[in-house]
């Protein structure tokens, strides 16, 4: 299937590693030019080399802290200067720390708000004028299953990520007339550093478990009995960014191997 991404330009936030990196690589493999970003310049440069080797489109790496407006503004400016257009925006950011309501301070709430909601709001606000001018665009927000099924001890993620869904649904209606789609991906358990941290895998290994034993508890809850592969996530991003997905907007699609128990 030709996804129609050759020559398109995509910005992927927080894409030096993990699912952001997988998303950028998938888009590049389909012929899109990709702008990758992250705070760690050395990791970003390594990812740039990997995508240039494995992809088809051009790659631009820009150091960017998604919690800083000036960094996002600079990222968008450099994208337009290099490629002249913005067709796809993939919003991604690291997850907020674990904690219950009573153990979470105002400062932690504010940081989560800036990291997981305002980063998306600011990036979308900056790319919309270019997409409206082109009368086309794809906005994809990376979230988690907590937007549909709250996760214990993740009060910040459960709350802030849900606000992204509300924003995206409203925005999808506002932008539909311009052929701009807005969708969310609710991520299940993929083999990433974030999941290793949440499941305390390194701690379990230090206590004497093998890596397979350390992951066993998490994997046993997944009907497919395995973690997701980053490239499987990237494939969904590429599809939602494609011409074939032009009639899909305002949705939140889970990719979780059957882990979630809700019907819709």
Sign of torsion, CA 92 95 100 103? negative
pLDDT bin (cut points 50, 70, 90) of residue 203 is confident
Q: Which stretch of 67-76, 143-152, 154-163 has the lowest confidence by average pLDDT? A: 143-152
What pLDDT was estimated at residue 199? Answer: 67
What pLDDT was estimated at residue 189? Answer: 87
Sign of torsion, CA 162 166 172 175? negative
User: From the centroid of its chain, how far is CA 135?
Assistant: 23
Tell me: the pLDDT tens digits for 61-100? 999 999 999 999 999 999 999 999 999 999 999 889 999 9
What pLDDT was estimated at residue 48? Answer: 97
What pLDDT was estimated at residue 102? Answer: 96
Question: Mean pLDDT over residues 147-173, rounded?
Answer: 95
Beta strands 33-38; 9-12: pairing state: parallel
186 with 255: CB under 8 angstroms?
yes
Question: Mean pLDDT over residues 40-68, rounded?
Answer: 96
What pLDDT was estimated at residue 220? Answer: 86
Count of residues in the chain: 264
27 with 12: CB under 8 angstroms?
yes
Q: What percent of the chain has pLDDT above 90?
A: 80
CA distance 2 to 182: 21
Q: How many CB atoms lie within 10 A of CB 154?
A: 19
The fold of the 9-190+228-255 domain, in CATH, is Rossmann fold (3.40.50)
| Helix locations, 176-229, DSSP H | 193-198, 201-206, 211-219
pLDDT at 154 > cutoff 90:
yes
| Kind and range of the H or E run holding 54 | helix 41-54
Domain with CATH 3.40.50.720 in the chain: 9-190+228-255
pLDDT bin (cut points 50, 70, 90) of residue 198 is low
Question: Mean pLDDT over residues 191-220, rounded?
Answer: 74
Tell me: the pLDDT tens digits for 90-137? 999 988 999 999 999 999 999 999 999 999 999 999 999 999 999 999
pLDDT at 10 > cutoff 70:
yes
């Amino acid at each position: 299937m030709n996804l129609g991404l050759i020559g398109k330009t995509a910005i992927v936030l927080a894409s030096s590693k993990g699912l952001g990196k997988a998303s950028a690589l998938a888009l590049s493999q389909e012929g899109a030019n990709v702008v990758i970003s992250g705070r760690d310049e050395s990791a970003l440069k390594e990812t740039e080399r990997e995508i240039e080797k494995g992809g088809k489109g051009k790659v631009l790496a820009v150091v960017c802290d998604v919690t800083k407006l000036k960094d996002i503004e600079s990222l968008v400016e450099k994208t337009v200067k290099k490629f002249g257009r913005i067709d796809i925006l993939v919003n991604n950011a690291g997850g907020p720390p674990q904690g219950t309501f009573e153990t979470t301070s105002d400062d932690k709430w504010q940081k989560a708000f800036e990291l997981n909601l305002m980063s998306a709001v600011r990036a979308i606000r900056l790319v919309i004028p270019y997409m409206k001018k082109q009368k086309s665009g794809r906005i994809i927000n990376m979230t988690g299953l907590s937007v549909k099924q709250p996760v214990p001890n993740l009060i910040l993620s459960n709350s802030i990520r849900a606000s992204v869904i509300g924003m995206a649904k409203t925005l999808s209606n506002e932008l539909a007339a311009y052929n701009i789609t807005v969708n969310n991906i609710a991520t299940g358990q993929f083999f990433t550093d974030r999941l290793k941290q949440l499941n305390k895998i390194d701690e379990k290994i230090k206590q004497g478990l093998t890596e397979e034993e350390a992951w066993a508890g998490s994997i046993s809850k997944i009907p497919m009995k395995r973690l997701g592969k980053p490239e499987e996530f990237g494939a969904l991003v590429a599809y939602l960014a494609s011409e074939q997905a032009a009639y899909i907007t305002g949705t939140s699609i889970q990719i979780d191997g059957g882990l979630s128990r809700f019907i819709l």
